[in-house]
């Protein structure tokens, strides 16, 4: 199943898309990776969805990635005696450790870590920022605040703390149980960690997962931005989770942060996913707004590896149309005459490694000689990542004998992943590459391609060889 675009699409599964026939339709429409949101999915449902995805994968013959998104810490106020109260700007309101139902003066906050960490002057945003409080007095058991922007507050509304670094990790007890269940399936490729604040938040997941899955850090806290280079170094990928990021930071700052994170990931050759509200109106409408189309296009122009649908595909009325629309926008942008110029202008300098030098040379040769494709043999996936980092204009085929590697690379920009046996020798390597490029529809007899690999064959992380080959009349090497 050949895609006519290089950016990948993540589609979240939910009530509107959980059945196997819907998953197959989403995949055919353009979904490359499926997201299972562990905030809503039980372990039984998670296993059922994985089974359905793998059944679709077997029929399609294409590796499909699966992302399990952990819920992370959910910070919420307690309940009110009458269900809700109306708070006015300028009034005093207290959050405390008293479990009694709240009223117009106070409410229970069942999070001692917040009561201990908030300092005078810190902001507390309730219900996605609809209610804005400023801390005035803090004693470890209560926070006396002034209402800056009033609104109604009701039971169990979420609390965001843009100015406060909490002494809790990003992994809750629920997340630990969910992570164990995810790893036990042996069939999930990525785990997304929510509300990462510091690089230390990743350590526990690394220890538990033992590299059995790729670790994707969701950036939705301002504290994470302050230490982003360290977080990227310890992550396998990043997700720009613009929903919560837009609550805890000024909305006008989010586009710049999106560009910052996208370029930071491109520099180091790690995948970056842009997520949240990309085609939000398509939850209930068959067509998106012009602003949403522009938003998706911006992420594509920026060179993001993947763009994501959340409620649009999980619970919306038009999940297939949402994926189709996103794929159409991406394909059109990538054909735009400005696209290659923008991608080229943002291209990072290669690192001083053999893999980067080979990947740079492969791109330049392929573009100079107008080759049909770049073929990279990769066991660990690193060669594929370095090839994609160059953002070449020609297609990149990542060939791997390890299906888990191919599935994990399905989120990476521009990689057409194929599972194939490892080559037995150099002649087999060249013949196999030519045959696959021909069979997958990326080249025809007489076309040329370039191959990168490590010699001796099968040596992880030893990319050190370039080879130009012709596709012969039989689809094999014409050399």
Catalytic residue among 5, 8, 35, 52: 35
Residue 336 CB neighbours (<10 A): 13
- Active-site residue 218, yes or no? yes
Q: Burial, 368: exposed, middle or buried (Cβ in 10 Å; 0-12, 13-18, 19+)?
A: exposed
Pair 123, 162: CB distance under 8 Å: yes
Catalytic residue among 145, 164, 262, 276: 276
Catalytic residue among 5, 6, 62, 218: 218
- Active-site residue 76, yes or no? yes
From the centroid of its chain, how far is CA 33?
Answer: 10
From the centroid of its chain, how far is CA 83?
Answer: 37
Is beta strand 272-275 parallel, antiparallel or unpaired with respect to 448-454?
A: unpaired
Catalytic residue among 76, 267, 347, 467: 76
Residues that are catalytic: 35, 76, 218, 276
């Amino acid at each position: 199943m050949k895609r006519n675009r290089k950016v990948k699409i993540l589609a979240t599964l939910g009530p509107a898309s959980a059945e196997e026939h819907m998953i197959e339709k989403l995949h055919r429409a353009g979904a490359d990776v499926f997201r299972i949101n562990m905030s809503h999915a039980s372990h039984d449902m998670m296993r059922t969805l994985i089974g359905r995805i793998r059944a679709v994968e077997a029929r399609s013959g294409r590796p499909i990635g699966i992302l399990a998104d952990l819920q992370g810490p959910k910070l919420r106020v307690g309940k009110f005696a009458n269900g809700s109260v109306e708070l006015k700007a300028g009034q005093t309101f207290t959050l405390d450790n008293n479990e009694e139902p709240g009223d117009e003066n106070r409410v229970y906050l069942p999070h001692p870590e917040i009561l201990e960490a908030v300092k005078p002057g810190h902001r507390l945003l309730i219900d996605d920022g609809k209610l804005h409080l400023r801390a005035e007095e803090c004693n470890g058991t209560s926070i006396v605040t002034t209402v800056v922007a009033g609104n109604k507050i009701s039971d169990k509304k979420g609390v965001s703390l843009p100015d406060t670094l909490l002494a809790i990790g990003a992994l809750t007890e629920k997340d630990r149980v969910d992570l164990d269940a995810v790893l036990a399936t042996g069939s999930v490729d990525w785990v997304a960690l929510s509300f990462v604040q510091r690089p230390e938040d990743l350590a526990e997941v690394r220890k538990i997962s033992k590299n059995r899955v790729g670790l994707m850090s969701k950036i939705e806290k301002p504290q994470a931005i302050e230490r982003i280079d360290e977080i990227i170094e310890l992550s396998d990928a990043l997700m720009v989770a613009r929903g919560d990021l837009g609550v805890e930071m000024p909305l006008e700052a989010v586009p710049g942060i999106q560009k910052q994170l996208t370029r930071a990931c491109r520099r180091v050759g790690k995948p970056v996913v842009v997520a949240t509200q990309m085609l939000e109106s398509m939850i209930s409408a068959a067509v998106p707004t012009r602003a949403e189309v522009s938003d998706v296009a911006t992420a594509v122009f920026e060179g993001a590896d993947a763009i994501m649908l959340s409620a649009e595909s999980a619970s919306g009325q038009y999940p297939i149309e949402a994926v189709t629309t996103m794929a159409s926008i991406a394909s059109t942008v990538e054909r735009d005459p400005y696209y290659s110029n923008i991608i080229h202008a943002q291209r990072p300098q290669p690192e001083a490694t053999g893999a980067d030098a080979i990947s740079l040379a492969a791109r330049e040769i392929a573009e100079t000689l107008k080759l049909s494709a770049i073929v990279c043999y990769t066991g660990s996936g690193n060669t594929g990542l370095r090839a994609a980092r160059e953002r070449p204009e020609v297609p990149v085929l990542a060939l791997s004998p390890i299906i888990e590697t191919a599935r994990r690379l399905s989120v990476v920009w521009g990689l057409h992943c194929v599972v194939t046996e490892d080559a037995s020798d150099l002649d087999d390597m060249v013949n196999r590459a030519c045959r696959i490029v021909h069979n997958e529809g990326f080249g025809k007899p007489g076309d040329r391609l370039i191959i990168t690999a490590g010699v001796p064959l099968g040596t992880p992380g030893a990319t050190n060889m370039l080879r130009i080959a012709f596709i012969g009349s039989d689809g094999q090497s014409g050399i």
